[in-house]
Chains A and B, each alone.
Chain A
Amino acid sequence: MPKPRSLLRLCASSVAVVGLALASGSSMRAEDARTEKSVNSNGGRYVLHVKEPEGGFVRGKPLSLEVRVTRAGDPSATVPGLGLVVDADMPEHLHGTNRVPRIQRRADGSFLVENLYLHMPGWWELFLDVVESPWTERAQMRVEIE
């Protein structure tokens, strides 16, 4: 049987990632290693640019996200003066988080979300509600916690 070298490397690297995640979140030093995702709000008014936590979404640790909101069709300019409400639920279990996330609006109009705490493995739905008075428009993203 030929040795599938690439497979070997593939699983070696996936183990390395597991190993890093186990080393209590000290993984990935370089800032740009964080994944950024774009999420359209449910009503189509906004695009949310969500910088995921360092080391990704992991269970049982306070997580930090950065969220920048732009108008649909104009991805360059952060919309000023907005509010943001963040919550998370496990739709399959009918319960939410046990801790309230802290949200800070920064000078450049983006948001720093801290203390997002997902205590169980499984499917979490993250709700990011953009408040631009008098409207509130929801964006949501699915997060899988191992």
Chain B
Amino acid sequence: MTLALPFLFAALAAQVAGAGDVAPKAAEPARRLVDQLDATQVQRILRHGPLEPAPPDPTNRVATSDAAAHLGQRLFYDTRLSLDGNHSCTSCHMTSRAFADGLDLPVPAGASERHSPTILNAVYQRWFFWDGRADSLWSQALQPIENPRELGIGRAGLARLLVEDTRLAAEYRAAFDEAPSAAPEDSDRTAVNAAKAIAAYEARLVSADSAFDRFAAALRAGDLDAAARYPEDALRGLLLFTGRANCRSCHAGPLFSDGEFHTIGMPPKGGGKLRDSGRFRGIELLRADPFRGSGPWSDAPDSERAREVESLVQSPEQWGQVRTPSLRNVARTAPYMSQGQMASLRDVLHYYSTLDGAVAAGHHGEQVLKPLALSDGERADLEAFLRTLDGVDPPAALMKPLPKAR
């Protein structure tokens, strides 16, 4: 038997012959549920996996270079990138917290208006930040470096660091076949290269192989015994997710995110009306970003990927829209939402169930959500499903600062 999946056969046969005739041999409830999946359900489930290798980023010529990723890892954990010398990328993207920070809003230098997202699997995104104002991982990385409320060393400061620290200088040379330079006419080039190295490191922070992925793989292979090892409540939750609750309409595809921008009416932190302009302003910022993929610092400004920015629609309905977060590893990255408004998955599911306190983005806003009125059991099932999206961490060697001596 090549492609035929026995359960599909069983499900269709059941429709023809009446369910009683094809009662499954295995009595466990999960197996029974698996046996009952119909073709549409299977098709929808299989759209969420597997997580294939991320698409290439031609705007970063070192995106897959080992030497660059090595330098990038060095920089990611280096507190000298901050003005106060105490913070690095990992202050807000902590290895122990699935590369998020566990806070509603990050504390260093205070006053950030948005929650730190995980950067696990960020390489799969097309637009970065909640408002999508960066179109590559490397142009994204320049922003905290520049922003005094985050790290703030700036491009010139970063170039100086790379010149003055002999090991960083050597690693830079290994990655770029040239020496770093902090001369005024060169420092942007040096800093952009360093950001491309950070991006090369981040591109390796991939986390897949979750319990859900193993279930989907078993389903794809027609191995029903393996598929039936998936917890029954999680499977019921998954069927809600792809069915009545229609979460998949935004949390689509293998990332459980369509990579696009929506509003779910989430009340802003501290109450009141929507203040975050979200995608509406994000597009403007992206178009004005000198480090965008179609700009002078890109390694492929004319590539199809770089030029996608030109075709973006900007419209009033985008006010307040944020990018649909990926749900991979979601159980490990509380709190939730773009300002960390929701403390737990329970709270999130309560919100989708009731839309309590939802704020209107404006009369042009999209309308996808209706209160789902989920029963306690349904919420528990959805949560059980979301908890099966925790993936395996990247290799241990990538999860810590590089050793000082080599």
| Chain A residues with a Cβ under 8 A of chain B | 1, 4, 7-8, 10-16, 18-19, 22, 24, 59-60, 90, 92-102, 115, 117, 119-122, 146
Give me 25 A-to-B residue pairs in the complex whose CB atoms sit less than 8 angstroms apart, sorted by A's number.
Answer: A1-B13, A1-B22, A10-B12, A11-B9, A11-B39, A12-B2, A14-B43, A15-B4, A16-B3, A18-B42, A19-B220, A22-B47, A59-B253, A60-B252, A60-B259, A94-B366, A98-B261, A98-B313, A99-B313, A100-B312, A115-B311, A117-B311, A119-B260, A120-B260, A146-B43
Please give 9 more A-B residue pairs, beta carbons under 8 A apart, in addition to A60-B253, A120-B260, A146-B43: A7-B9, A8-B9, A12-B2, A93-B368, A96-B313, A99-B308, A99-B313, A100-B312, A119-B258
Across the two chains, which residue of chain A brings its CB closest to B304?
A62
**B311 touching A4 by the CB < 8 A rule?**
no
Across the two chains, which residue of chain A brings its CB closest to B310?
A100
How far apart are the CA atoms of A19 and B4 in the complex, in Å?
A: 12
How far apart are the CA atoms of A13 and B5 in the complex, in Å?
A: 11
The 0/1 profile, CB within 8 Å of A marked 1, for residues 24-46 of chain B is 00000000000000010011101
| Smallest beta-carbon distance A69→chain B, Å | 24
Query: B147 near A: Cβ within 8 Å?
Result: no
Across the two chains, which residue of chain A brings its CB closest to B250?
A120
Across the two chains, which residue of chain B brings its CB closest to A18?
B43
**Contact A95/B8 with A1-B22, A115-B311 known, Cβ cut-off 8 Å:** no
**A98 touching B260 by the CB < 8 A rule?**
yes
Across the two chains, which residue of chain B brings its CB closest to A13?
B3
How far apart are the CA atoms of A40 and B280 in the complex, in Å?
A: 36
By a CB distance below 8 angstroms, the chain A residues around B42 are 15, 18
How far apart are the CA atoms of A119 and B249 in the complex, in Å?
A: 9
| Smallest beta-carbon distance A1→chain B, Å | 6
Across the two chains, which residue of chain A brings its CB closest to B44?
A146
How far apart are the CA atoms of A146 and B43 in the complex, in Å?
A: 9
**Contact A11/B8 with A1-B21, A1-B22, A146-B43 known, Cβ cut-off 8 Å:** yes
Query: B74 near A: Cβ within 8 Å?
Result: no
Query: B387 near A: Cβ within 8 Å?
Result: no
**Contact A100/B366 with A7-B9, A60-B253, A95-B317 known, Cβ cut-off 8 Å:** no
Across the two chains, which residue of chain B brings its CB closest to A15?
B3
Across the two chains, which residue of chain B brings its CB closest to A117?
B311
By a CB distance below 8 angstroms, the chain A residues around B47 are 22, 146
Across the two chains, which residue of chain A brings its CB closest to B365?
A94
Across the two chains, which residue of chain A brings its CB closest to B127?
A98
Across the two chains, which residue of chain B brings its CB closest to A17?
B43
The 0/1 profile, CB within 8 Å of A marked 1, for residues 233-268 of chain B is 000000000000000111011000011110000000
Choose among A7, A60, A96, A98 the residue that contacts B312 (Cβ–Cβ < 8 A): A98
How far apart are the CA atoms of A92 and B249 in the complex, in Å?
A: 12
Across the two chains, which residue of chain A brings its CB closest to B2?
A12
**A102 touching B13 by the CB < 8 A rule?**
no
**B367 touching A4 by the CB < 8 A rule?**
no
By a CB distance below 8 angstroms, the chain A residues around B22 are 1
By a CB distance below 8 angstroms, the chain B residues around A14 are 39, 43
Query: B52 near A: Cβ within 8 Å?
Result: yes
Query: B17 near A: Cβ within 8 Å?
Result: yes
Across the two chains, which residue of chain A brings its CB closest to B307?
A115
How far apart are the CA atoms of A16 and B366 in the complex, in Å?
A: 35
Query: B16 near A: Cβ within 8 Å?
Result: yes
| Smallest beta-carbon distance A94→chain B, Å | 5
Choose among A1, A15, A94, A96 the residue that contacts B8 (Cβ–Cβ < 8 A): A15
**A102 touching B252 by the CB < 8 A rule?**
no
By a CB distance below 8 angstroms, the chain B residues around A100 are 311-313
